[in-house]
Amino acid sequence: MKFNIAVLPGDGIGPEITQQSVKVLRAVADRFDHEFIFEEAEVGAIAIDLMGDPLPDTTLELCKKSDAVLFGAIGDPKYDNDPSAKIRPEQGLLKLRKELGLFANIRPVRAYESLIHKSPLKPENIEGADMVIFRELTGGIYFGEKSTSEDGRSASDLCTYSVEEIERVAHLAFNAAQERRKKLTLVDKANVLETSRLWRKTVTELGKAYPDVSVDYLFVDNAAMQMILNPKQFDVILTENMFGDIISDEASVIGGSIGLLESASVGTENALFEPIHGSYPQATGQGIANPLASVLSAAMLLDHLGLKEEAETVRMAVDLSIKLNVCTIDINKDNHYSTERVGDFLESVISDTEGHIVNNENLSLGQMTII
């Protein structure tokens, strides 16, 4: 099968990790006799520097005509540290989500058995944790009207939601719950916010169409606490834009590294796949960035294209790299591998059509023996 994939490496470590994902996807194409046509474009700070726009028209058009978008990361300290900057890298991603109609962000979170000791949380609290977070992505306070007074002494951000915006992401979450453990948790702040009360009313009504799914409700502050105390209670979490941004990043501690969390941003016609971590500018060019979240995002991309076996092959390769500790320094501090070496290992495993097991005793930085 033939697919067109837009590749947006972005800023910081984005190009390094995206390169490994493309490497993995090329191995998948070779193994399963597909043709992936990759085309790169600029976004974020690099696009501002080159074109004066965090999302150039050429980049947007490429994304619209592609079957899927593989995204790296955006952000640069020179913009983060300048509150007066009128143009920011993040504006490119927000505009891209809006223009492509990517109304739902989907973030799987699970505890890897071999990495439980890496998490700052108690092992007995996180062992077996496995959830998916559905975050509404194109509404709420991030996209509401913004204003600053003329004297610069006050500012406001408007949070607005409609029933239609809530329903379309809620349907996806309910459908996912039906395929999992049939439990959905709505995270809101309905004791204070009118928008949250609308969320709760809408989801409660919609839940009647999914009688096999049990629905419970948590205020966001309690949900943040429960994510630490008892994450195993969660199956599918549904929430609004800002709450989802915060809760899903917090959930990264369950896996032991934010470098393990992938995500998909989907709409009715387009889809974008990216790791949840940022551009990590301090690590740029050092070969220490963890590519696994990007590679797992590529697996979600394959799922989106209907290539289920291919996606599972990528996930099994990632599981093997974690099991054998073929990982970057955030996971393997004593005998770590570079970003590129981890990508090479994943490529080798996927290309191993005979299904042999990697011989861990002969595994070293310069040697990967397949037996």
In this structure, the answer to whether residues 191 and 252 fall within a common structural domain is yes
- Which of 142, 210, 280, 337 is catalytic? The answer is 142
- Model pLDDT, residue 366: 47
112 has catalytic annotation = no
**Nearest residue to 102 via CA among 312, 229, 273:** 273
Structure tokens at 108: 């799987």
Please report which helix (H) or strand (E) contains residue 52, including its range: none
How many structural domains comprise the chain?
2
Amino acid of residue 205: E
Task: Please report, for the domain that includes residue 342, its CATH number.
Answer: 3.40.718.10
Q: Are residues 220 and 271 in the same domain?
A: no
The per-residue b/e assignment along 91-128, b for 16 or more CB within 10 angstroms, e otherwise, is bbbbebbbbbebbbbbbbbbbbeebbebbebeeebbee
User: Same structural domain for residues 74 and 132?
Assistant: no
Lowest mean pLDDT among 80-84, 105-109, 290-294, 296-300: 80-84
Provide the sign of the torsion angle of the four alpha carbons 107, 113, 114, 120, taken in this order: positive
With 0-12 / 13-18 / 19 or more C-beta atoms within 10 angstroms meaning exposed / middle / buried, residue 306 is exposed
83-100 mean pLDDT: 91
Q: Is 142 a catalytic residue?
A: yes
Q: Which of 65, 78, 221, 308 is catalytic?
A: 221
Q: Is 208 a catalytic residue?
A: no
| Residue that terminates a domain, selected from 224, 257, 290 | 257
At 238 the pLDDT is 98
Which residues carry a binding-site annotation for substrate?
97, 107, 135, 221
Please report whether residue 311 resides in a domain. yes
Is pLDDT of 72 > 90? yes
Of 155, 81, 286, 145, nearest to 89 by C-alpha is: 81
Give the 3-state DSSP-derived string for 101-169, with helices as H, strands as E and coil as C.
CCCEEEEEEECCHHHHHHCCCCHHHHCCCEEEEEEECCCHHHCCCEEECCCCCCEEECCCCCHHHHHHH
- For residues 75 and 178, state if they share a domain: no
Q: 146 and 17 share a domain?
A: no
**Catalytic option among 11, 23, 76, 189:** 189
Q: What is residue 113's predicted lDDT score, i.e. its pLDDT?
A: 86
Cβ 19 vs Cβ 1: under 8 Å:
no
Q: Which of 130, 249, 319, 352 is catalytic?
A: 249
* Predicted structure pTM score: 0.90
Q: Tens digit of pLDDT for each residue in 174-199?
A: 999 999 999 999 999 999 999 999 99
Look at residues 290, 279, 305, 300 and name the one whose alpha carbon lies nearest to residue 107: 300
47 in the same domain as 11: yes
Choosing from 227, 257, 287, the residue where a domain stops is: 257
In this structure, are 97 and 126 located in the same domain?
no
**Catalytic (active site) residue 57:** no
Of the residues 257, 292, 327, the one at which a domain ends:
257
Is 262 inside a domain boundary? no
Q: Which residue ranges make up the annotated binding site for Mg(2+)?
A: 221, 245, 249
Six-digit token string for 201: 């009313």
Catalytic residue among 67, 130, 245, 344: 245
Q: Are residues 212 and 118 in the same domain?
A: yes
Determine phi and psi for 84, rounding to 5 degrees: -90, -5
Q: Is residue 58 part of a domain?
A: yes
At 214, is the secondary structure helix, strand, or coil? strand
Could you tell me if 233 and 296 lie in one domain? no
95 is a domain residue: yes
221 part of the active site: yes
Cβ neighbours around 351 below 10 Å, total: 15
When the pLDDT of each residue in the chain is averaged and rounded to a whole number, the result is 93
The answer on 6 and 84 residing in a single domain is yes
3-state secondary structure of 21: helix
Binding-site sequence positions: 97, 107, 135, 221, 245, 249
Same domain, 128 and 218: yes
For residue 323, give its domain range.
1-102+267-370
Q: Are residues 22 and 47 in the same domain?
A: yes
pLDDT attached to residue 118: 85
The end-to-end CA distance of the chain, in Å, is 31
